[in-house]
Amino acid sequence: MGRLIVVSNRVPVPDRNGNPPAGGLAVAVHAALQSDGGIWMGWSGETTEGEPGPPTVRQEGNISYVLSDLSQTDVDEYYNGFANRVLWPIFHLRLDLAEYARREMAGYFRVNRLFAERLVPMIQPDDVIWVHDYHLIPLADELRKRGVTNRIGFFLHIPWPPADIMFAMPIYDTILRSLASYDLIGFQTDYDLENFIGCLRREGCGDQIRGPDGGDIAVGNNTGAGSWIRACGRDFAAAAFPIGIDTARFASLAARVTARGQVRDMRRSLEGRALIIGVDRLDYSKGIAQRIDAYERFLQNNPDDRERVTMLQVAPKSRSDVPEYRAMQDAIATQCGQVNGRHGTINWVPIRYVNRSLSRAILAGLYREARVGLVTPLRDGMNLVAKEFVAAQDPEDPGVLVLSRFAGAARELAGGAVFCNPYDTDQTASAIAQALSMPLAERQERWQRMMGRLLDYDITHWCRDFMTALRQGTDRA
Ligand code: ADQ
């Protein structure tokens, strides 16, 4: 069997002892790389003044980590520019936030070409290549132009938008057509797959599109059943592979850390109040402002509950070089201060706002302490926090997940989570009230349903399914 080559914007390089960074995706992909041997390539995170030099290669066992520096112009145009100011907002349905600049688009393709040029000499005939996420959509096309015929797969971690939104992007057709250079395209949900196929059909380039049984594409099972597609002169497969977490390991981590210092201190500081928790990167797609509005509405509608609850919002800064993110950092801090000013008392702070990253162990312990997990993105490819919150719960006394219908995770957690529409403040406020007053038997029943699914389809399963589909190819007979 050939090696695996993984390409992603950033590379989770192992520590000095060779341990991969914590986090399900890094661990699962490392495991796949270790079993077959291979390469993980991406941006080093470093910038250079002038043209970047050759990549650095670090060998750990049978895995080579190939890290390319980028020039400041590359980072501004490819990463902060086209990827995070055009693709990210558009794929999250925020046309209003997309800032399109031709120079940045050129930078995006230039960096993809650079990665392709660096990768080509390392590729052996039997290797399979797995490209991750929206930063690198044109990579397969650049590799094909350089004569690479290996199997290449792509997994999109964020949603795929409907055609009307996608087509508002000036070079949508180049992006869409370049995907035909892959052999397998993985989406988080079948809704994303359906949107992608809708784009091909509307563009008139999906010459032939068949569901797994040769008939129409079935939307509604979200199980990775694929579609065979002939488009733009190539055959390829596309399917939903909903990403999971390392469920069993996260559950046991959460159970172990409850007695530890920081988690124990936090529990004491609650003085018996029910904890409502939100954990997100500080990103407009996560619906943090709408969530705080809903929490305030809950406090207004349920005056008796006021001093009986505390909300903890953990939101480390992210993408601070992008203006929309900087503006949001200030807005959320102000909003938390206003809610605390309006509703707080000398003995009670309604919202605790923590603007930094916490270790996985502490996060796991905090999830387990919480009576309610508030995961309310306006749009999210999957949302791993929702899954982590469920995995961390105490089976005897589980908390309740309040989940946005617009998170990819909603497809799998139906029947367990209390759903909300984050644009509907009153409904989300009612969902918080419902979660807080839910009887134990119902909490246990809902939790078991969700946990069963998360144990069945964890990150290892996800990785194996994608790799099997990519290696086996597809029976297009
Ligand atoms: P993200 O948008 O980054 O990922 P998410 O899926 O929620 O979002 O993953 C965030 C990860 O970061 C989780 O593992 C979480 O525990 C961790 N995290 C969040 N806040 C943290 C904090 N304060 N301290 C420490 N860790 C924190 C993208 C897509 C998602 C998709 C994932 C994976 O946008 O939709 O689920 O990729 O495919």
Whichever domain contains 206, its CATH number is: 3.40.50.2000
Q: Tell me if 468 is assigned to some domain.
A: yes
ipTM: 0.98
Predicted local confidence at residue 223, as pLDDT:
53
Instruction: Answer yes or no: do 262 and 197 share one domain.
Output: no
Distance 283 CA to ligand 1 centre (A): 11
For residue 213, pLDDT beyond 80: no
d(CA 112, CA 356): 31
Q: How many C-beta atoms surround the C-beta of residue 45 within 10 A?
A: 13
Which numbered atom of ligand 1 lies nearest the CA of 318? 3
Instruction: Answer yes or no: do 438 and 313 share one domain.
Output: yes
Instruction: Answer yes or no: do 129 and 110 share one domain.
Output: yes
Which carries the bigger pLDDT value, residue 319 or residue 23? 319
Instruction: Answer yes or no: do 214 and 318 share one domain.
Output: no
Instruction: Answer yes or no: do 176 and 43 share one domain.
Output: yes
Length of the chain: 477
Q: Tell me if 318 is assigned to some domain.
A: yes
Instruction: Answer yes or no: do 94 and 217 share one domain.
Output: yes
Predicted confidence (pLDDT) per residue in 251-303, tens digit = 999 999 877 788 899 999 999 999 999 999 999 999 999 999 999 999 999 99
What is the band of 324 on the pLDDT scale with cuts at 50, 70, 90? Answer: confident
280 catalytic per annotation: no
Instruction: Answer yes or no: do 289 and 222 share one domain.
Output: no
Q: Tell me if 345 is assigned to some domain.
A: yes
For residue 32, pLDDT beyond 80: yes
Which numbered atom of ligand 1 lies nearest the CA of 385? 7
Instruction: Answer yes or no: do 465 and 379 share one domain.
Output: no
User: Over pLDDT 90: what percentage of the chain?
Assistant: 79
Q: Within 6 Å (CB) of ligand 1, which residues are found?
A: 23, 157-158, 243, 279-281, 314, 316, 357-358, 363, 380-385, 388
Instruction: Answer yes or no: do 132 and 143 share one domain.
Output: yes
Predicted local confidence at residue 475, as pLDDT:
42
Which structural domain range is residue 304 located in? 247-455
Q: Tell me if 187 is assigned to some domain.
A: yes
Which numbered atom of ligand 1 lies nearest the CA of 358? 24
- From 280, 281, 285, 390, give the residue whose CB has the most ligand 1 atoms within 8 Å, as the site to mutate: 281
Distance 386 CA to ligand 1 centre (A): 10
* Closest listed residue to residue 256, CA positions, set 361, 357, 384, 360: 361
Compute the average pLDDT of residues 27-42.
Answer: 88
| Tally of domains within the chain | 2
Q: Tell me if 44 is assigned to some domain.
A: yes
pTM of the entire structure? 0.95
For residue 100, pLDDT beyond 50: yes
Q: Tell me if 317 is assigned to some domain.
A: yes
Q: Tell me if 477 is assigned to some domain.
A: no
Instruction: Answer yes or no: do 198 and 329 share one domain.
Output: no
Instruction: Decide if 340 contacts 367 (C-beta within 8 A).
Output: no
What is the band of 24 on the pLDDT scale with cuts at 50, 70, 90? Answer: low
Predicted local confidence at residue 59, as pLDDT:
92
Instruction: Answer yes or no: do 119 and 264 share one domain.
Output: no
157 catalytic per annotation: yes
Instruction: Answer yes or no: do 190 and 267 share one domain.
Output: no
For residue 225, pLDDT beyond 90: no
- From 243, 355, 383, give the residue whose CB has the most ligand 1 atoms within 8 Å, as the site to mutate: 383
**String of DSSP letters for 13-76:** ---TTSPPPSSHHHHHHHHHHHHH-EEEEEEEEEEESSS--PPEEEEETTEEEEEEEEEHHHII
Predicted local confidence at residue 212, as pLDDT:
65
